Chains A and B, each alone.
Chain A
């Protein structure tokens, strides 16, 4: 403690020099603190973006591909048979197929454009949604191409307000459908602008026969498939199986590019995490480099200190200081210098984080552990870069130190 007071007095007796020397460490600590916090915040955001989303799902959609001589082929849809085949893959829990298009949906006195999803009984399950009222679609609905509809909570709100919608009739593209179910409001943190509760679910067969033109009107065509599998660790194997199967049913050779795309949230998240990790590493390295440069500044000024105070060192040795006393005196001075700079740096870093939160509109993770790491690194720099000058001081010969001009 006494050593710290002595070191403090020594530092404040040269305020300008102390402040200049602290500058590099302040910036370094602020950079490390802010950058790790921002990195961790981004990581949390990525993780939380999947809250409410089933990571055991694969969404499969057809895509445009270039084939021979750069001739673009059409998007080739899937078929009912594909759904059948995929549902037989081991580890697959449920599969739903979906044909979607936007239509006007109307009740007397209200009218809105809504995406109509023609699908099946597994639709809600694959989207992690649950029914609030009424019943789900069933096999009979699909076989009979029934004119029944299940509506999302936003649609229920817009069309029926507080009224009970079950059994009511809605007109989709002027065709009357009976509402048989209302879906519980579903919330995810995905920042997609689209209101995911604004949809109407009808049997896929009905959609195909009554509403949709083009490919979707052709028997068996399915525009999108969502697969839910049982265990997360089976993901790659199931993905491979699906790719293999679809390559076969779509007549693709091994050399052909895929004309469909498979999307899994967990895999996408892992990719984002990978990017985030690289970014964090990069930002952390910048902070570390600044800190090292600052540390060299500290070493430089400590060497100047030692030279200036050679007389004092000689005197202290002559009145009985051990070499280790001198060593500690200067090491502690360097550590204190860096520690003070570290505290200021944490303050500055906190400021940077606060500004970044306002600009970047996301929550940083400013845990104590990050602050402790940033602060600890400043002390570490003090120890490392303070040691050499301190050692030089402690190695001075007392007689020569006293005689030094």
Chain B
């Protein structure tokens, strides 16, 4: 194997000062290879969300280093981080985070709005992405006209648009019923099978079971790291 897609060294994030100091991340080291489907599991406050924000370039570590797709995130300017989020990362959120007054296609096109230079085939890319999540027949629908599962599919299409290297999903089934959750997880599984690297945050062991590797976190530290099946 060549260099890992993600590599962290002593990743540390500290909130507060002095006696009130809380280490949300306390010296986290791990590597994730391209093509893996990793679930990060832990109770609330375990540091898993902080870790995901860090991986997505939304937050900066206080200590340690972090490399994603060959880029040293700690050394990046705000502009470079924006570009990184735009091109390298696709986010899927628990609450979908769709713009309510825009169509599914317009929502999927949102990351392309900030692409520099602009692509001319934005609409086509968005439609391809919607097709990948099975939402081709809902292109013009607004989020309010879609079910929760359909909204999350649109959100996944948005994360996938123009092939990011890493899909970060923060409790993607947290707002869905169990039936819809199964559908969404099956979709993620399928996407992973197509070669997309996925890092999933959850507190639900059943959901984590879809992943090929489960990292367990507690109090800002990794307490377990196990593969559920052979790495691809």
Main secondary structure, interface of B, reads: helix
CA of A153 to CA of B146, assembled, Å: 89
Main secondary structure, interface of A, reads: helix
- Chain B residues with Cβ below 8 Å from A323 are 78, 82
Query: Given A13-B101, A315-B99, A399-B53, does the pair A320, B115 have CB atoms closer than 8 Å?
Result: yes
Question: A321 at the A/B interface (Cβ < 8 Å)?
Answer: yes
Partner of A320, one of B53, B99, B101, B114: B114
| Closest chain A CB from B58 CB (angstroms) | 5
- Chain B residues with Cβ below 8 Å from A402 are 58, 93, 97
- Chain A residues with Cβ below 8 Å from B93 are 402
| Closest chain B CB from A332 CB (angstroms) | 14
Mark B197-226 against chain A: 1 for CB-CB distance below 8 A, else 0: 000000000000000000000000000000
- Chain B residues with Cβ below 8 Å from A399 are 53, 58-59
- Chain A residues with Cβ below 8 Å from B86 are 319-321
CA of A321 to CA of B86, assembled, Å: 7
Question: B110 at the A/B interface (Cβ < 8 Å)?
Answer: yes
Mark A314-328 against chain B: 1 for CB-CB distance below 8 A, else 0: 111111111101000
- Chain A residues with Cβ below 8 Å from B85 are 317-320
Partner of B111, one of A311, A314, A320: A320
| Closest chain B CB from A17 CB (angstroms) | 15
| Closest chain A CB from B227 CB (angstroms) | 29
Question: B83 at the A/B interface (Cβ < 8 Å)?
Answer: yes
| Closest chain A CB from B89 CB (angstroms) | 8
Q: A293-336: which have CB < 8 Å to B?
A: 311-312, 314-323, 325
Q: B41-76: which have CB < 8 Å to A?
A: 53, 56, 58-59
Partner of B114, one of A311, A312, A322, A398: A322
- B58 and A318: CB pair below 8 A? yes
Partner of A317, one of B79, B82, B83, B113: B82
Partner of B82, one of A2, A312, A321, A397: A321
- Chain B residues with Cβ below 8 Å from A13 are 101
Q: A174-221: which have CB < 8 Å to B?
A: none
- Chain A residues with Cβ below 8 Å from B115 are 320
- B59 and A322: CB pair below 8 A? no
- A316 and B114: CB pair below 8 A? yes
Question: B87 at the A/B interface (Cβ < 8 Å)?
Answer: yes
- B101 and A311: CB pair below 8 A? no
Q: Which residues of B are in contact with A by a Cβ distance under 8 Å?
A: 53, 56, 58-59, 78-79, 82-83, 85-87, 91, 93, 97, 99, 101, 110-111, 113-115, 158
7 closest A-B pairs (Cβ-Cβ)? A320-B86, A319-B111, A320-B114, A322-B82, A398-B58, A320-B85, A315-B97
Q: Which residues of A are in contact with B by a Cβ distance under 8 Å?
A: 2, 9, 13, 311-312, 314-323, 325, 397-399, 402
